[in-house]
Structure 1
Amino acid sequence: MLRTQTIVVKIGTSSLTQSQTGLLALSTIATLAETLSHLRRQGHRVILVSSGAVGIGCARLGLTERPRTMAMKQAVAAVGQGRLMRVYDDFFTTLQQPIAQVLLTRSDVGERSRYVNAYNTFQALLEIGVIPIVNENDTVAVQELKFGDNDTLSALVASLVEADWLFLLTDVDRLYSADPRSFPDAQPIALVTHMEQLAQLQVQVGSPGSQWGTGGMVTKIAAARIATAAGVRTVITEGRFPHNIEKIIQGEPLGTQFAPQLQPTNARKRWIAYGLIPTGKLYLDDGAVKAICQQGKSLLAAGITTIEGEFDSQDAVQICDRFGKEVARGIVNYSSSELQNIRGRHSREIATILGYAGAANIIHRDNLVLI
């Protein structure tokens, strides 16, 4: 009996549009709709994360390059999003497959209650056989609340719904040791078992995407890191051939696969690591880094050497070693102004210094996740 799987597919602007004109690549979209509808008929739960609103809006308005200002990007996205959903609706309706539009901003996954609500909405849509089509809500998101690219958005959605697969459809057939368009002798990479393997292979990730898109191989590798940490098998493959999705699920060695972590982090810790937006940094001495990274302990004030940024209690912060490398993220029990007074001090001194009794730890290990 076929096992039902949850499959998230992200398609980029470079695959959805013609490179020279920015007009829609209708044959690709038609094949994508056929493939995803077929997966649904097989019983799988399918989510599509689609870029393209800004690129399609540019083509619709006759613009020759992507807008540079936030206001113009949002205006163009508003034009393009309606056209994009109309095209999807036409193709999926022909195939008798219901779809739904889901527009997200970073705050939808940054606030715990909205994160849980987003999860419930996705589950309800999948339960009734709908394919949600997800995009960032470009028309309202301010810069601080943007995902930055839909590769990151797709990884967060895959993590949120605890997907089995994340497919990142792009303009190359797989990951290479260098850009094959510039280096003909670049070596293909079929499987990445751990992210450090990419550094060992000296993978060069190239430029940040096409003139119409915002992604690139850098963001896809970052997305794979998020998704595999959640236990999601991630694949980079060519967007012009959506049928390859089914072939890969059936075991054909196409694209580049990133193996999922065998012991994925739990949902709350994934939310802390990737859903929240850090508002500050804490720099630690070597002893504190060892205590939290190797011994699984909570962070104490004594190990903090430097504080950067302004934040309140219960905000998320980055935790860095003395060289500035991020080693963890967590939710703090004290504000930045309080921490300036108690950093480097013993926990028993906190009440005397602040004038009131607070938590013994700065970040409890249950609110701390290693990066």
Structure 2
Amino acid sequence: MVVKIGSSTLVDEGGALDRAFVRSLCDQIAELMASGTRVVVVSSGAVAAGRDVLGFSARPDDLATLQACASAGQARLTQAYADVLAERGIPCGQVLLTRRDVMDRDAFLNARVTLTRLVELGAVPVVNENDTLSTAEFAFGDNDMLGALVSALVGADLYAICSDVEGLYTANPQEDPSATLIPHVTEVDHRLTELAGGAGTSFGTGGMSSKLRAARAMLAAGIPTVICRGRREGVLLDVADGRGVGTRFESPAGSPHEGGRKLWIGLAEVPRGTISLDEGASRAVLERGASILPVGVAATSGSYEAGDVVNVRSATGDVVGRGIARYSSEDMARVRGIKLDVIARFLGPERAQPAVHRDDLLVF
């Protein structure tokens, strides 16, 4: 079970690390492990904890100060987990990642080996983004997606996103008193993405939209995901037991799921551009599992080379997947909307290939 804890859940009203909550969380982890469930924690909160250490009353605006706060707070955050878990005889290991660390396929697999071995040895890995070194290009952006990546790395049976909300609602409950909790989701479609709000609190970077992106990736991986309120008493035990807590995202039984390589393409790599599909290509990719042919590419944006990862947008404008482009952005602009036999006639048979082959495409 991978458990992601958001910053707004970890800190008290003043923005300091809430050690009483950390103790409650570790109590639940210890109980889960005693019952045979292995746990990986993906914890936000380093910047918030460092903010307290360095004496800032509000979240800094500049990158250098944020990274300094992350450095000061990371030690305090991990030690808070380690101290409480040690009282229960459970070792704790720290794992700091940036997207650069897992962009290389070998590094991705090495991270998997390290995390898996820690779990096998009875330790609880505490994973966080290495905010002291990451830059915008290589940052995960929020720990919801980092938790999804870790879930894919270890082949988790369950991913719990512990937040300051109960789950996904039919409307914003702060604005609409008639809003109701959505208990179960089998597909993240355009309607659901419109329900998601913007960024989270001043202590964190994520919002419901980032949680939906992570849940959608986990649907592709076949890993059930639950968005729940982290401060609900016994929430991890209830989620693990399958009780009706929060919003559970799970594909219907028998649905196909993607393997490790495609998950690496979709979750670990940094997209360098975007290709947009026409209606016919959108249906072929989403309904029939087809490759993306140049004739179905309606537009391309960004600068990328053949072999780079690109976002794939449907005809409605939604990002529906990521894949490895077989043309550069310059060549894609030339061949888009053209059939393969025409491309072969003018550029040669070796240039007539899919824009993105299905084997290199993760469809969310």
- Structure 2-normalised TM-score? 0.90
CA gap 1:193/1:358 in 2 versus in 1, 3 angstroms: closer
Long gaps (5+) in structure 1: 1-6
Sequence identity (%): 40
Q: Secondary structure of 2:137's match?
A: helix
Once residues 280 and 165 of structure 2 are traced to their aligned partners in structure 1, the CA distance between those partners, rounded to angstroms, is 44
Matches within 5 A, 1:250-265: 250-260=241-251, 262-265=255-258
Instruction: Determine the structure 1 residue equivalent to 2:291.
Output: 298
AA paired with 2:25? L
Instruction: Determine the structure 1 residue equivalent to 2:12.
Output: 18
**CA-atom RMSD in angstroms:** 2.4
Which shifted more, 260-269 or 102-111?
Answer: 260-269
Q: Deviations over 1:59-96 (max 9, x none)?
A: 11121211112111111110110111121111111111
Q: Deviations over 1:315-351 (max 9, x none)?
A: 0112334554434422122222233333334434546
Q: Does 1:160 align with 2:138?
A: no
1:171 paired residue among 164, 174, 195: 164
Q: Deviations over 1:124-143 (max 9, x none)?
A: 11111111000000000110
Once residues 191 and 51 of structure 1 are traced to their aligned partners in structure 2, the CA distance between those partners, rounded to angstroms, is 26
Long gaps (5+) in structure 2: none
Q: Does 1:342 align with 2:335?
A: yes
Which shifted more, 24-33 or 273-282?
Answer: 273-282
Q: Deviations over 1:182-239 (max 9, x none)?
A: 444332222223324x937x97434421111112222222222122221112112222
**Would the aligned equivalents of 2:220 and 2:363 in 1 still touch at CA under 8 Å?**
no
Shift in Å, 1:272: 2.0
CA gap 1:310/1:204 in 2 versus in 1, 3 angstroms: closer
AA paired with 2:103? G
Instruction: Determine the structure 1 residue equivalent to 2:191.
Output: 199
Q: Secondary structure of 2:281's match?
A: helix
Once residues 298 and 17 of structure 1 are traced to their aligned partners in structure 2, the CA distance between those partners, rounded to angstroms, is 46
**Would the aligned equivalents of 2:160 and 2:239 in 1 still touch at CA under 8 Å?**
no
Matches within 5 A, 1:1-371: 7-19=1-13, 21-196=14-189, 199=191, 204-241=195-232, 243-260=234-251, 262-322=255-315, 324-350=317-343, 353-354=346-347, 357-358=350-351, 360-371=353-364
Q: Secondary structure of 1:311's match?
A: coil
**Would the aligned equivalents of 2:187 and 2:216 in 1 still touch at CA under 8 Å?**
no
Q: Secondary structure of 2:39's match?
A: strand
Once residues 94 and 175 of structure 2 are traced to their aligned partners in structure 1, the CA distance between those partners, rounded to angstroms, is 38
Which shifted more, 302-311 or 59-68?
Answer: 302-311
CA gap 1:283/1:170 in 2 versus in 1, 3 angstroms: closer
Once residues 169 and 151 of structure 2 are traced to their aligned partners in structure 1, the CA distance between those partners, rounded to angstroms, is 24
**Would the aligned equivalents of 1:350 and 1:357 in 2 still touch at CA under 8 Å?**
no
Once residues 57 and 179 of structure 2 are traced to their aligned partners in structure 1, the CA distance between those partners, rounded to angstroms, is 32
Shift in Å, 1:100: 0.5
Q: Secondary structure of 2:272's match?
A: coil
AA paired with 2:5? I
Once residues 305 and 198 of structure 2 are traced to their aligned partners in structure 1, the CA distance between those partners, rounded to angstroms, is 37
Shift in Å, 1:268: 1.8
Instruction: Determine the structure 2 residue equivalent to 1:3.
Output: none
Q: Secondary structure of 1:48's match?
A: strand
CA gap 1:310/1:91 in 2 versus in 1, 3 angstroms: same
Q: Secondary structure of 1:144's match?
A: coil
Which shifted more, 60-69 or 72-81?
Answer: 60-69
**Would the aligned equivalents of 1:233 and 1:259 in 2 still touch at CA under 8 Å?**
yes
Q: Secondary structure of 1:172's match?
A: coil
Once residues 50 and 295 of structure 1 are traced to their aligned partners in structure 2, the CA distance between those partners, rounded to angstroms, is 38
AA paired with 1:244? V
Which shifted more, 338-347 or 148-157?
Answer: 338-347
CA gap 1:247/1:140 in 2 versus in 1, 3 angstroms: same
